[in-house]
């Protein structure tokens, strides 16, 4: 049976294949703070989302984003500079379309990064956090609707989305490079409003250490397809109610930019060490 979502994915893959035959092993989604990550890639090809028919693109002019294909060390990567968020108004199937496309281009590992509000014990703005697990039920599930059997099972297991061996690599890289690395559970909420202090207290009671507006949609879709997932959050701020200041996008961006050098190092050295 044909499935409109699957057809859209395969059309995007075909459009990309008309422009490059590069087959990445690792897919990297760049969150806030890693906007200049392309500097660390030996670039082989770049494809603007605008040039892929059907691909969800931002309606803000100049903010379309692009795929960057190339090498981190000897590792073949595809990077997403600019991700699709549910709060922008896209269907969740469009939010996860890029991850599905990157898998079909060859990527076996999905490395997710983001900026997040921190509520874990002892967390401070500027910390990096290894995502050990997630809480998804405050965000739409991207697998709702007819199952796309070509991609994965109807009821996929989610007991180890963030693969232990990849976590171990990231931990060891942090240690070797003297990078402080927190660990914890990431919860995705829809946004775009930040959380209320009561919501943050609730999430704390649920065992959440970091909260944001991305990542879990993509992680679920990737796990469904059998990709090996890992993720790191940049704790750009303490979550609502945990500091005196009201939250602002500017504060998030500023803190993420400040953490960028260490974040970049952690991501780059980890990718080089992953067992593909
Ligand atoms: N809440 C949700 N998303 C975020 C935050 C936050 O505090 N900081 C960065 N992204």
| Element spanning 234, H or E | strand 228-238
Q: What is the distance between the alpha carbons of residues 37 and 34, in angstroms, rounded to a whole number?
A: 5
Ligand 1 centroid to Cα of residue 37, in Å, is: 21
Which has the higher per-residue pLDDT, 254 or 269? Answer: 269
What is the extent of the structural domain holding 49? 4-273
Q: What is the DSSP string of 39-79?
A: GGSEEEEEEEGGGSTT----SSTT---EEEEEEETTEEEEE
| Element spanning 194, H or E | none
> Which residues does the annotation mark as catalytic?
32, 63, 85, 87-88, 115, 213-214, 237, 249
Q: Count up the domains in the chain and report the number.
A: 1
Beta pairing partners, 130:
183, 232
Of all protein residues, the one whose alpha carbon is nearest to atom 7 of ligand 1 is 117
Q: What is the domain-level CATH number for residue 179?
A: 3.40.50.1580
Output the six-digit token pair for 219.
Answer: 């992680």
Q: What is the distance between the alpha carbons of residues 232 and 128, in angstroms, rounded to a whole number?
A: 7
pLDDT reported for residue 35: 86
Ligand 1 centroid to Cα of residue 116, in Å, is: 4
pLDDT reported for residue 57: 84
pTM above 0.85, yes or no: yes
| CA atoms lying within 13 Å on the CB side of residue 206 | 19
Nearest Cα to 221, choosing from 1, 2, 3, 6? 6
pLDDT tens by residue, 203-253? 999 999 999 999 999 999 999 999 999 999 999 999 999 998 889 988 889
pLDDT tens by residue, 169-204? 999 999 999 999 999 999 999 999 999 999 999 999
Mean pLDDT within 61-76:
88
pLDDT tens by residue, 78-135? 999 999 999 999 999 999 999 999 999 999 999 999 999 999 999 999 999 999 999 9
Ligand 1 centroid to Cα of residue 45, in Å, is: 32
């Amino acid at each position: 049976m044909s499935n409109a979502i699957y057809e859209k994915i395969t059309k995007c893959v075909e459009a990309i294949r008309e422009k490059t035959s590069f087959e990445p092993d690792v897919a990297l989604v760049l969150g806030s703070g890693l906007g200049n990550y392309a500097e660390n890639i030996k670039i082989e090809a770049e494809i603007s989302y605008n040039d892929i028919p059907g691909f969800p693109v931002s309606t803000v002019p100049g903010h379309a984003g692009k795929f960057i294909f190339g090498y981190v060390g000897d590792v073949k990567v595809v990077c997403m500079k600019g991700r699709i968020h549910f709060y922008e108004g896209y269907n969740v199937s469009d939010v996860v379309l890029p991850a599905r496309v990157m898998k079909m281009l060859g990527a076996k590992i999905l490395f997710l990064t983001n900026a997040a509000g921190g509520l874990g014990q002892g967390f401070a703005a500027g910390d990096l956090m290894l995502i050990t697990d997630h809480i998804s039920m405050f965000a739409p599930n991207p697998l709702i609707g007819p199952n796309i059997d070509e991609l994965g099972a109807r009821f996929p297991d989610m007991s180890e989305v963030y693969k232990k061996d990849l976590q171990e690599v990231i931990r060891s890289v942090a240690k070797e490079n003297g990078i402080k690395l927190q660990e914890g559970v990431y919860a995705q909420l829809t946004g775009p409003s930040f959380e209320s202090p009561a919501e943050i207290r609730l999430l704390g009671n649920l065992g959440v250490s970091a909260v944001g507006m991305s990542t879990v949609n993509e992680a679920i879709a990737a796990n469904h397809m059998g990709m090996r997932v890992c993720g790191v959050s940049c704790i750009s701020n303490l979550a609502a109610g945990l500091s005196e200041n009201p939250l602002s996008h500017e504060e998030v961006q500023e803190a993420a930019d400040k953490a960028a050098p260490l974040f970049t190092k952690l991501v780059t050295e980890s990718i080089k060490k992953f067992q593909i």
